[in-house]
Amino acid sequence: MLDSLYSDRHYARFFVLETIARVPYFAFMSVLHMYESFGWWRRADYLKVHFAESWNEMHHLLIMEELGGNAWWFDRFLAQHIAIFYYLMTVFMYALSPRMAYHFSECVESHAFETYDKFVKSHGDELRKLPAPEVAVRYYTEGDLYLFDEFQTSRVPNTRRPKIENLYDVFVNVRDDEAEHCKTMKGCQRHGSIRSPHSYSEECDVVSSHHCRDCEGILDCIQKSVAD
């Protein structure tokens, strides 16, 4: 629907997509914090990784805003209201079955990768002539890149260091970020398998064994109860 609505307004479409793309990570962290407050789960690495993912998507959003993607009131209204609905849906889905929520997010991130990939391939020559937004230069090349490494759970820290010379480089890296999100979401579907790239200790070493043998959402708890 968004692809059809924004077929000739690429930056506005990307602004809407990135506003929505941040939402699942807020939802995941909300439910994880609630479980931790109830004393059910303690998933420090999951919280770190999901925060880093939201931080990455926030900078994608800032890039699209700097490019003028949020100039129209309608685009902001549409993105914000879809985001509210998506947040509530994801919280419910994640509480019911994290595996299902992670799979859904993997599909969304896969679509985002394909969207950016098509854009880069079809507008590459034009993008190479345009300067990179300042926020992209700062995020990808300057300062402490700890959080940039943190969401890429399939990589060793410091192994990906982008170059940003023009707008083409920016969109290539945004596209590659989406591919990394896909890998992380796929990994999250294996319960308890995600580790922060900067983590060197087993999660069970810092929490009780009770928390390492927990349920994965309401559906999983029901299934284990019946099996027991």
Q: What are the tens digits of pLDDT across the range 93-112?
A: 999 999 999 999 999 999 99
> Which CATH number do you get for residue 136?
1.20.1260.140
Report field, pTM of the whole predicted structure over 0.95: no
Q: Report the C-alpha gap between 178 and 34 in whole angstroms.
A: 27
Would you state the structure tokens that stand for residue 20, as one six-digit string? 């929505």
Tell me the residue range of the domain where 22 lies: 7-197+214-227
Helix axes 10-21, 23-38, angle to 10 degrees: 10
Taking the C-alpha atoms of residue 34 and residue 40, their distance in angstroms, rounded to an integer, is 9
The total number of structural domains that make up the chain? 1
Euclidean distance between CA atoms 24 and 88, whole angstroms:
10
Q: Which amino acid is at 7?
A: S
In a domain? residue 128: yes
Dump pLDDT digits (tens) for 123-154: 999 999 999 999 999 999 998 899 999 999 98
- Of 44, 34, 49, residue with least CA distance to 105: 49
The residue whose two tokens read 């307004």 is 9
